[in-house]
Structure 1
């Protein structure tokens, strides 16, 4: 007979549609949790290139509601179930099991609420050391090899009355092994979906190749006090995004800081990998929803239709640029239309002067119930003046320009 650890006194939050019951780690099962409050953990991990035969489908959903043979699950999910149980928490959320993978309707519904899944999780488990789902993350960590070892005379004390010789281990400060980050050398730091999973989580246990980190909205600490360089950490969400009222809209300086942070997030997000290019706007929709509520601006295929719209259009791709995707991802004027790293030309400023005017900027979403997700089409109209320039040895007179960009 298997007994569960006593659950800690944790505050319950609105639950996703389905959760994994982890009270018996050897025989977990799915439960319907929508409409109730539960304390649960959420898993952030990399699927990898291999097939996921364990995933929930319409066919196996009834049996998964009764029992799931843990031996059929990849090691990363087994580790997450075991860790959740050891923490005294009864439930776990992970996408491959809690979303019906062959149901477009269920996928659309669940992906539209991803922001709440990680925001309301008591703890997010970040399997940052696992390159694929079968690797697991509860592995022995190899001790770091010091760059220099020096003898050190330890003074006597009550426990050791005689002085003895110890070792002083020195590590190069710039060594990547002694400077763990949440992107660089970590697998989840390479995955686009994991960016919003990390940023939206209230607290995260990050299982890196070298140590375990506790990350919250304030700081990141390595277990055991190992060095962590915050300069290379994922940017945190500004506190103003969680204000209960709309005061941010009336504070131009604060509003501009939030707006600028979005551009930084886009730059980080665009560096990450997606298994399916069509997820370009889907995997950041949870963050976009949070920013939209704080900014009071209308979100249009990755950019904001407000007074700084023109700045959002000043993105570029590095040289040599990749070819455009064969499938339609977004209007050509949106950074989401390409699969490349997206830097912007300059920072936003309150006193900057616009040389053009936005007349119309709108998009048609694929699913009206998921307005911040993928789009079917987009329409942008700008109005501006041209200036005199030389093109291949000929003069071009300045004329009034009316740009009608539609795609």
Structure 2
């Protein structure tokens, strides 16, 4: 059978059938700034606030206001100090896009406190204020106007509180259709000029309603998901921490909360990656590890015992066939021994994942995004890190976690490339101008997506290395923010290489496959820190550190990471 096309059966908003209308998609409004569309945002937010008990229980409507907010009550929006009062407020997630002149500085502070005409605001900020008013939310937080941009001390203080801002906002307005502040949020939607195919909706009601067919591809707003906004590093945190988000795309708007997502076209959506959902962040807030378990886990880790809360005991057949305890242990525990506290089950996926499994997935997504300032790499992630710390009680270590540090050291990062003469591309330097973090952490260099080699490649991993000491010196008072210095001391087996040049693979090498692999990494995967900083000298030697022992359950074999 060949599929030539798909269609959605839709009803006009306000003219839905009296029976089984929930089965139908909905028409979208031609203008996202119209009164009708703004009334829809009120309806979507109100439905969550009035019917989603778990959302309201975990995210109260009234929260402590940020240090400064924009008061939209008067004709001219003005900047005010909150004084710690509680009220409902909205937050804005958007792209500056180079339009950075309209901002709070020491010189402009008084004019913002006096109030500025709404017409002076850049279009994106002006539209956000309009949306906030339509939602009957008096106060709105906009980073450019609520943080003193030319005061490093104020920026550092407010950046450390940004997690409370997005977590406390009753709704976050996401300008997914704007690549800069001057473009605005509201759009006239592109709609097909072709006449609609109208059908009778026969449902047994006294009167027959009319419905129409819409091509299934007409409203797939790929531009919203692939927008510049969704490539920003800060936005991942803004999205996950916010209890509710109103996404304004080119073709439609979408409302997202921990109960799921619904778009203007009437479709109920669910993210396929659990770590990207508000549902997971809500679960993280609810499942806080008890104190006794927090104390037990480091001991289990030290003894190399499984720390997952769900595992299968070996069968009698397994015990009879097993030759040693090691075999029994690996056959008994289908989950990874490095899986730590609190496992979750993804809807539709029986696999169990721990907090740390989710963390490495978050880092993979986050590291593929862009940051205007590389030094924001930890501040832009600090809110999510604080939630993980709150749930696990674990120590945050330069973008990794102390109880999962050995696995966390097994990372790779894709290199950046730039266009060169003749249309070719060449590697870009990966070392930042300023210190970001220790060389053993993924966040110490610039690049593309970070992958952790253990996450998806092996069923079981056991640590060979032992942590002797970890020292972290934060650059500010925020333990999840930027770093001043960091170090780690490990005890582990090592392999000494006889080659004086690690980037070549001499025929006489005792480890030709290993040397060839190292050569490939340094030559073809972009310039490494080693390649940019190391200065060779006669008689130099290199050692490889064994971090983990891995077992591939399908082949029932044992390998050491780095061993060939």
Q: Distance in 2 between matches of 1:244 and 1:318?
A: 34
Q: Distance in 2 between matches of 1:182 and 1:331?
A: 37
The alpha-carbon deviation at position 186 of structure 1 amounts to: 2.4
The alpha-carbon deviation at position 182 of structure 1 amounts to: 9.3
Q: Distance in 2 between matches of 1:116 and 1:83?
A: 22
8 Å contact kept, 1:181–1:232? no
Q: Distance in 2 between matches of 1:218 and 1:124?
A: 16
Q: Deviations 1:300-326 (Å, cap 9, x if unpaired)?
A: 1111112x2111111102367642223
Output aligned runs, 1:220-299, within 5 Å: 220-226=261-267, 228=269, 230-231=271-272, 234-236=276-278, 237-243=280-286, 245-247=288-290, 249=293, 252-254=340-342, 257-299=354-396
Long gaps (5+) in structure 1 = 1-7
Q: Alignment partner for residue 216 of structure 2, among 161, 166, 171?
A: 171
Structure 2 residue 484 is matched with structure 1 residue 376: yes
Higher helix share: 2
Counterpart residue number, 1:41? 90
Counterpart residue number, 1:188? 229
Long gaps (5+) in structure 2 = 1-45, 50-59, 295-308, 310-339, 344-352, 417-426, 500-505, 512-542, 546-564
Q: TM-score, normalised by structure 2?
A: 0.61
Q: Distance in 1 between matches of 2:465 and 2:282?
A: 33
- In the alignment of these two chains, the number of paired residues is 381
Q: Alignment partner for residue 18 of structure 1, among 68, 77, 80?
A: 68
SS in 1 for 2:443: helix
The alpha-carbon deviation at position 17 of structure 1 amounts to: 0.3
Which deviates more from structure 2 when the two are superposed, residues 198-207 or residues 66-75?
Answer: 66-75
Computing the radius of gyration over CA atoms, which structure comes out larger, 1 or 2?
2
Counterpart residue number, 1:103? 151
Q: Distance in 1 between matches of 2:395 and 2:439?
A: 18
SS in 1 for 2:125: helix
Counterpart residue number, 1:75? 123
Q: Distance in 2 between matches of 1:155 and 1:54?
A: 52
8 Å contact kept, 1:180–1:229? no
Q: Distance in 1 between matches of 2:468 and 2:441?
A: 16
Q: Deviations 1:9-59 (Å, cap 9, x if unpaired)?
A: 9842111101100113x4000111132111100000011023x22211112
Q: Deviations 1:216-261 (Å, cap 9, x if unpaired)?
A: 1221110231474633793443434213753395554516611111
Q: Distance in 1 between matches of 2:61 and 2:101?
A: 34
TM-align CA RMSD: 3.3
Q: Which runs of 4+ in 1 moved over 4 A?
A: 149-153, 155-161, 226-229, 248-253, 319-322, 348-351, 387-391
The alpha-carbon deviation at position 339 of structure 1 amounts to: 2.2
SS in 1 for 2:366: helix
Counterpart residue number, 1:362? 471
TM-aligned CA distance change 1:360 to 1:273, over 3 Å: same
